[in-house]
Amino acid sequence: MTDLSGDIFKTIDPDRTGTTSEEVISQLREMIHRGELRPGDRLPPERDLAKLLGVSRPTLRAGIRSLAAVGVLRSRQGAGTFVVKADGPPSLDSSPLRLMASLHGFTSGEMFEARQSLEMAVAGLAAERATSEHMATLSEEIAGMYASLDDPEQFLVHDMRFHQTVAAASGNRILTSLMNMVATILFDVRRKTVNRAKDLKESAEMHRQVYRAVRARDKEAAQNAMRDHLMRAQKAQESEEMDDSAVVAAGDGSIS
């Protein structure tokens, strides 16, 4: 925890540019940039902080809410407002992308393609940089997949963890975050469908192909294996949605 009792909170200049709440956002952002607020830190109570910044509580709350909406702050009633703690990989909220998809009518084909590009990129990097721990985890998740061929929900858990491990092995947290953003949306769709046993076995097999390529430090092979895997997964999911026409109300391939 960082001591926040000092005078790091400066009052807002009345002759500011833009609205007051925007100034509050800038103020908080700057403090994070400068490292005065670090992950896990607790902000002063709203009433105190409002006084410190020289604004009203609603205005301060507006600023806090904006930062909370983008996943930087998190308020818990009765406890306080905290800078989001980085437990595990940093992740960007996927709801902005989700809304963007609704607004512009992104097709699931586009979403699949984006994921494929990102996954291929991280797979290539993972082949170059994966540590032995990463390799071990990948192997475990594949074993988990084979062990849950008759439990689609459990299979999906191992599936997600496998891809997250590949992303972690890439060593690039930005690509990892972006990939998770896209993958989360697709997994949410998939969670509503029921995978057939045949598809699951094939899927496990293709994950193993990716793993072997990464283990062999073969960048191109890893990218190709990942591309093939995701292409098959897309086709499988699409045919499944064709079978069960009730999955998507409109049935036009748009993101739910």
| Positions that interact with a second copy (CB under 8 A) | 19, 21, 29, 32-33, 35, 38-39, 58, 61-62, 65-72, 77, 83-84, 86, 90, 92-93, 95-97, 99-104, 106, 110-111, 113-114, 117-118, 120-122, 125, 172-175, 177-178, 181-182, 256
Q: Which stretches does DSSP call E strand in 13-67?
A: none
Token representation of residue 104 = 């512009």
Locus of tokens 């990716």: 210
> Of 76 and 104, which CB lies nearer to DNA in the complex structure?
76
Min dist CB 151 to a second copy, Å, is: 28
Neighbours of 245 (CB within 10 A): 9
> Of 41 and 159, which CB lies nearer to DNA in the complex structure?
41
Contact 256, 189 (CB under 8 A): yes
The tally of CA atoms less than 13 A away on the side-chain side of residue 89 is 23
Instruction: Return the one option of a second copy, DNA, none that residue 184 interacts with (CB less than 5 to 8 A, by type).
Output: none
> Of 95 and 154, which CB lies nearer to a second copy in the complex structure?
95
Min dist CB 59 to a second copy, Å, is: 11
Residue 132's closest CA among 164, 170, 169? 169
> Of 34 and 76, which CB lies nearer to DNA in the complex structure?
76
Q: What are phi and psi of 73, to 5 degrees?
A: -115, 165
Instruction: Return the one option of DNA, a second copy, none that residue 33 interacts with (CB less than 5 to 8 A, by type).
Output: a second copy
Paired residues of 80 in beta bridges: 76
Q: With CB under 7 A as the contact rule, which of the stretches 46-54, 99-107, 144-152, 219-227 interacts with DNA?
A: 46-54
Contact 151, 179 (CB under 8 A): no
Contact 47, 64 (CB under 8 A): no
Min dist CB 66 to DNA, Å, is: 10
Q: Is 27 near DNA (CB under 7 A)?
A: no
Instruction: Return the one option of DNA, a second copy, none that residue 78 interacts with (CB less than 5 to 8 A, by type).
Output: DNA
Contact 169, 131 (CB under 8 A): yes
Query: Which of the 8 DSSP states describes residue 73?
Result: E
Instruction: Return the one option of DNA, a second copy, none that residue 46 interacts with (CB less than 5 to 8 A, by type).
Output: DNA
Contact 104, 195 (CB under 8 A): no
Chain positions contacting DNA, by CB under 7 A = 19-22, 43, 45-48, 55-59, 61-62, 75-81
